[in-house]
Homo-oligomer: A and B are copies of this chain.
């Protein structure tokens, strides 16, 4: 496979359109188009759907994954040979769920030695959907809820992220005159987005089968979610790391001291011998060991 064509495919996928890839590579859009066509002819497969933004076919995903691994290996080799210069940082695309990003994940990244000159390209994604990004070759590693390795990836257990049911004292005074279990169907609840079923799972466990109430606010940001619960807009399952200081100060009330919801988190990464990736995995495992509940 001609490497300039493989690199061009990668640029089209990263930039989203042929025109943007052409601008990034300093060539004409028709040169980009010709290289992709040539690559499709030599592999005998359609690699890209010409949508806006472009989308990869299954064959395209295989080639893009190869392209990213090649780029990483080339970068590492140049560094070992002393050929890498200032303008050539290694880019590490990683998918991470919003709550990890808001709590323990960034402190982990700051432990990666700056000498490695690694650039983190984080993608915020639901922990149930990060494996898709791994499979598509969009990211090289992911914090995911799935222990089943994506083909070509290794898996490490990080720990369990604990969520506790909490609300503001004003919310409790206004809406709850008994245990949450009796009122859960009619009181307002805060959920992250339409894919977030933590609150419903908790409600079903509490009531033997009924969902949380229909009066629900969707707040798709970890800190926004916490702010909404603190402001009394609804009850919600709050990561215990964020909840604890507020529970101590009285800004939040624990609604059920005996029940928490634990979400297991795993680190999946491509099997690739890369110093940048290895250093990142090590830092992530170390900080997760301190911040998460053990398995």
Chain A residues in the interface with B (C-beta under 8 A): 14-15, 86-89, 98, 101-102, 105-107, 109-110, 117, 119-124, 186, 188, 194, 214-224, 227-228, 231-233
Contact = CB atoms under 8 A, between A and B. Distances in A.
Given A224-B101, A231-B106, A233-B110, A218 B122 contact: yes
- Chief secondary structure at chain A's binding surface: mixed
A122 B215 contact: no
B110 A231 contact: yes
A186 B216 CA distance: 47
Contacts of A86: 186
Given A106-B227, A106-B228, A220 B123 contact: yes
Nearest to A228: B106
A218 B109 CA distance: 12
How many copies of this chain does one complex carry? 2
7 contacts: A87-B214, A98-B221, A101-B219, A110-B233, A124-B220, A222-B223, A223-B223
Contacts of A231: 106-107, 110
A106 B233 CA distance: 10
A218 B228 CA distance: 26
Nearest to A120: B217
Most buried by B among A89, A105, A122: A122
Given A215-B117, A228-B106, A231-B110, A221 B89 contact: no
Contacts of A215: 89, 117, 119
Contact of A106 (B88, B98, B119, B219): B219
Contacts of A194: 14-15
Given A231-B107, A232-B110, A102 B224 contact: yes
